[in-house]
Amino acid sequence: MSEVYHTDEQMLKRKFEETKLPLIHLEPYVLEQINKEPQRQQNNRFYQKKLLVACGSVMAFMVLFWALSSFPAAAEQLRKIPIIGKIFDGTGITSIGDPGLIDGKENGLAIQLNQEAINQGTTIKMQDAIYDGARLSISCDIKTEHQVRSVLEILQNGIVKINGEVLPAGKIKPMLRILDEKHAIGLININIDSLQPIRSFDLKLQFSGENLENGSSLTKNNIEGEWDFNLPITNRALNDSQSKILANAYTSKSSDGQFQITSYMLTPITTRIDFNYTGKTEFLYFALQDDRGMLSNIIGSDYTTDENGVTKGSLFFNPLANGTKSISVTPYLYTSREIFENAKPIGTTFPIELQLKDVGKIIINQIDKLEDRTLVYYKIEGDQPYLLADSVHFITRSGRHVYSNSLWPLRTNDTSYEYVQEFPPLDPAEQYNIGSMIQIDAKLLSDLTIKLDLAK
Amino acid sequence: MESMNIEELVRAAKEGQHHCYGELISRFQQHILNYCFHMLGQLQEAEDVTQDVFIKGFQRLEQYREGTSFQAWLYAMTYHECLNRLKRAKTLERILQVFSGTAPILQSDVSTARFEYNEELREALLRLSIKDRHIILQRIVEELRFEEIAEQLQMSTPAVRKRYERAKKQLKKILASREEGGNERSLSY
Q: How far is CA B28 from the centre of its chain?
A: 11
Pairing of the two strands A392-395 and A433-439: antiparallel
Domain of residue A379, CATH code: 2.60.40
pLDDT reported for residue A391 = 82
For residue A42, the distance in angstroms to the closest alpha carbon of chain B comes to 8
User: Do A304 and A363 belong to one domain?
Assistant: no
Of B91, B185, B189, the CB nearest to A304: B185
For residue A75, the distance in angstroms to the closest alpha carbon of chain B comes to 32
Which of A239, A264, A291 is at the close of a domain? A239
Among B26, B79, B178, B188, most A C-beta atoms within 10 A, so best to mutate, is B188
A449: CB partners within 8 A, 6+ apart = A252, A328, A329, A330
Query: Domain count of chain A?
Result: 3
Helices vs strands, H then E, count in chain B: 8, 1
Q: What's the CATH number for B1-102?
A: 1.10.1740.10
Closest by CA position to A331, among listed A259, A235, A417: A259
Contact B18 A342 (CB under 8 A): no
Contact A153 B88 (CB under 8 A): yes
Residue A14 lies in a domain: no
Contact A27 B119 (CB under 8 A): no
- Comparing B129 with A88, the larger pLDDT belongs to B129
Q: Label residue A336 by pLDDT band (50, 70, 90).
A: low
pLDDT reported for residue A220 = 42
Tell me the helix, strand and coil percentages in chain A, rounded to 5: 15, 40, 45
Which residues of chain B neighbour A359 with C-beta distances below 8 Å? none
Backbone φ and ψ of B181, nearest 5°? -85, 175
Region B62-72: mean pLDDT is 87
Region A2-22: mean pLDDT is 79
Lateral strand order in the sheet of A172-180: A111-119, A122-131, A136-144, A183-190, A172-180
Which residue type does B133 have?
A: R
Which residues of chain A neighbour B140 with C-beta distances below 8 Å? 5, 9, 12-13, 16
- pLDDT exceeds 80 at position A138: yes
Contact A217 B87 (CB under 8 A): yes
The SS3 assignment for A320 reads: coil
A112: left (phi over 0), alpha (psi -120 to 50) or beta: beta
Domain coverage including residue A312: 241-335+443-453
Between the ranges A30-39, A282-291, B60-69, B137-146, where is the mean pLDDT highest?
A: B137-146
User: Do A79 and A192 belong to one domain?
Assistant: yes
Closest by CA position to B106, among listed A232, A219, A339, A53: A339
User: Do A107 and A63 belong to one domain?
Assistant: yes
Contact B188 A300 (CB under 8 A): yes
CA distances from A111 to A36, A94, A139, B125 (A): 45, 13, 10, 45
> Tell me: the pLDDT tens digits for A389-419?
778 889 887 777 787 766 678 788 778 899 9
The SS3 assignment for A220 reads: helix
User: Do A280 and A229 belong to one domain?
Assistant: no
Q: Label residue A55 by pLDDT band (50, 70, 90).
A: very low
User: Do A193 and A127 belong to one domain?
Assistant: yes
Region B115-129: mean pLDDT is 81
Count Cβ atoms within 10 A of the Cβ of residue A52 and give its class: 0-12 exposed, 13-18 middle, 19 or more buried. buried
User: Do A91 and A144 belong to one domain?
Assistant: yes
Cα–Cα dist A292/A326, whole Å: 9
Of B29, B84, B117, the CB nearest to A19: B117
Lateral strand order in the sheet of A165-166: A165-166, A159-162, A200-208, A226-234
Contact B186 A21 (CB under 8 A): no
Residue A261 lies in a domain: yes
The separation between the first and the last C-alpha atoms of chain A, rounded to the nearest angstrom, is: 68
Among A198-207, A382-391, B177-186, the least confident range: B177-186
- DSSP 8-state secondary structure symbol assigned to residue A26: -
- pLDDT exceeds 90 at position A303: no
Of B44, B109, B168, the CB nearest to A344: B109
- What proportion of chain A, given as a percentage, has pLDDT over 70? 77
User: Do A140 and A212 belong to one domain?
Assistant: yes
pLDDT reported for residue A134 = 83
User: Do A180 and A289 belong to one domain?
Assistant: no
A340: CB partners within 8 A, 6+ apart = A356, A357, A359, A437, A438, A439, A440, B104, B105, B106
Contact A281 B185 (CB under 8 A): yes
Q: Label residue B1 by pLDDT band (50, 70, 90).
A: low
Which residues of chain A neighbour B187 with C-beta distances below 8 Å? 281, 284, 301, 303
pLDDT reported for residue A23 = 80
Q: How many residues does chain B have?
A: 189
pLDDT reported for residue A204 = 94
Minimal-distance CA residue of chain B relative to A149 = B88
User: Do A305 and A351 belong to one domain?
Assistant: no
User: Do A168 and A302 belong to one domain?
Assistant: no
User: Do A144 and A220 belong to one domain?
Assistant: yes
Among the four given CATH numbers 1.20.120.1200, 3.40.50.2000, 2.40.50.140, 1.10.10.10, the one describing domain B118-178:
1.10.10.10
Cα–Cα dist A181/A179, whole Å: 7
Minimal-distance CA residue of chain B relative to A310 = B182
Per-domain boundaries in chain B:
1-102, 118-178
Closest by CA position to A19, among listed B30, B92, B73: B30
Helices vs strands, H then E, count in chain A: 7, 29
Residue A320 lies in a domain: yes
pLDDT reported for residue B89 = 55
Q: Mean of the per-residue pLDDT values for chain A?
A: 76
Pairing of the two strands A339-345 and B104-106: parallel
For residue B170, the distance in angstroms to the closest alpha carbon of chain A comes to 12
Cα–Cα dist A165/A149, whole Å: 29
Cα–Cα dist A389/B37, whole Å: 26
The SS3 assignment for A394 reads: strand
Cα–Cα dist B92/A348, whole Å: 39
Residue A10 lies in a domain: no
Residue A45 lies in a domain: no
Residue A226 lies in a domain: yes
Cα–Cα dist A217/A151, whole Å: 11
Residue A109 lies in a domain: yes
Domain of residue A281, CATH code: 2.60.40.1640
Which residues of chain B neighbour A340 with C-beta distances below 8 Å? 104-106
CB B58 within 8 A of CB B15: no
pLDDT reported for residue A337 = 55
Q: Mean of the per-residue pLDDT values for chain B?
A: 77
The SS3 assignment for B72 reads: helix
pLDDT reported for residue A60 = 26
Pairing of the two strands A410-411 and A450-453: unpaired
- pLDDT exceeds 90 at position A31: no
CB A276 within 8 A of CB A313: no
Residue A152 exposure: Cα atoms within 13 Å on the Cβ side: 29
CB atoms within 10 A of CB A102: 25
Of B56, B137, B186, the CB nearest to A58: B186
- Comparing A154 with A193, the larger pLDDT belongs to A154
Which of A221, A239, A257 is at the close of a domain? A239
Among A81-90, A243-252, A255-264, B21-30, the least confident range: A81-90
Closest by CA position to A439, among listed A395, A398, A386: A386
- DSSP 8-state secondary structure symbol assigned to residue A254: E
pLDDT reported for residue A239 = 78
**pTM listed for this prediction:** 0.57
Which residue type does A65 have?
A: F
- Comparing A55 with A311, the larger pLDDT belongs to A311
Cα–Cα dist A46/A52, whole Å: 12
For residue A276, the distance in angstroms to the closest alpha carbon of chain B comes to 14
Q: Label residue B75 by pLDDT band (50, 70, 90).
A: very high
User: Do A214 and A269 belong to one domain?
Assistant: no
DSSP class per residue in B6-45: HHHHHHHHHTT-HHHHHHHHHHHHHHHHHHHHHHHS-HHH
CB atoms within 10 A of CB A390: 23
Residue A35 lies in a domain: no
pLDDT reported for residue A293 = 85
In DSSP terms, A190 is beta-bridged to A136, A172
